[in-house]
Structure formats: C-alpha cells, structure tokens
Amino acid sequence: LVFFRSLEGLSAFGSLEELILDNNLLGDDLVLPGLPRLHTLTLNKNQITDLEYLLDHLAEVTPALEYLSLLGNVACPNELVSLEKDEEDYKRYRCFVLHKLPNLKFLDARKVTKQEREEALVRGAFMKVVKPKVSPLLSYSL
C-alpha cells in the first residue's frame, strides 16, 4: 500500500484534468499546486476536517473544477463518517460547498441541482458548519 502525504510532485503536471486521491492520509495540510485545467478531484476517505480551508484553497488553485467528492472525510457530514450526522447536516454542507465553489456540476457523486445552486447564492455563506471549541476546565483555588 502506498499512501500520499505530500503532493509536491504534482506541480510538474500543470495540464492535469483528473486527479483521484481516494484512500490516502491527506489531511488539513493538503496543498495542491496551481492546476488550471483540473476539472475532477476526488478526495474520498482521507483525513480532511477543515472544510472552509480546503474549499478556499481549491477555489484558488483549481479554477476549472466541476466534479468534487469528499465522502468519507470528517469535513463531509454524512452517515459514512458519523451516525450523528443526518440529511440536514449534509444539505447544509452542500450549500456551503456550492457557495465556495459555484462552478461545481457534481458534488460527492450527486449532480448539483438548479435549486441547490440558487440556495447557495442566497444562504451559502451562512451554512458553515462550526465545530464547538473545547475549552479546558477552569480550576479555582479556594
């Protein structure tokens, strides 16, 4: 088994159009080089948790992206990752992704609908799923 942790070598493939990086150990430190022709990217079953960082990065380095799949990552809230997630969590996630990447045609193997695209324009910025910060217990001395 070969797992990718670094993608530095991809800078030599500026005309790359499809990239499948499923089942690796890629996490929030993922950095892609500029890939202006990349239209398909799958990052299923990796270790990505910071959705906003990833989407901002992809918007910058993959302007032609139309097909994205993030299934099996903590950043993609569905039953594959956690039984605590439901369809409403997933709808909010899709709305937020489409707000950040409005040119997507498919997200997680599901076609983007006109209704989803319209909702992302109106409400996408407010659909960010925020993880509560865990604060250490305060200790008081008497």
Predicted local distance difference test score (pLDDT) of residue 130: 53
> Residues 5-8: contacts with CB within 8 Å, 24+ apart?
7/31, 7/32, 7/33, 8/33
pLDDT digits (tens, 9 = 90+) for 58-89: 999 999 999 999 999 999 987 655 666 678 88
In this prediction, residue 16 carries a pLDDT of 95
**pLDDT for position 133:** 47
Q: How far apart are CA 137 and CA 70, in angstroms?
A: 34
Question: Which residues are registered as beta bridge partners of 20?
Answer: 42
Q: Which H or E element spans position 10?
A: none
pLDDT of residue 75: 92
Domains and CATH numbers, the chain: 13-126 (3.80.10)
Q: Which residues contact 78 (CB under 8 A, 6 or more apart)?
A: 71, 85, 89, 90, 93, 108
Low-confidence ranges of the chain (pLDDT < 50): 132-135, 139-142
Look at residue 127 in the predicted model and tell me its pLDDT: 74
Q: What is the pLDDT of residue 3?
A: 60
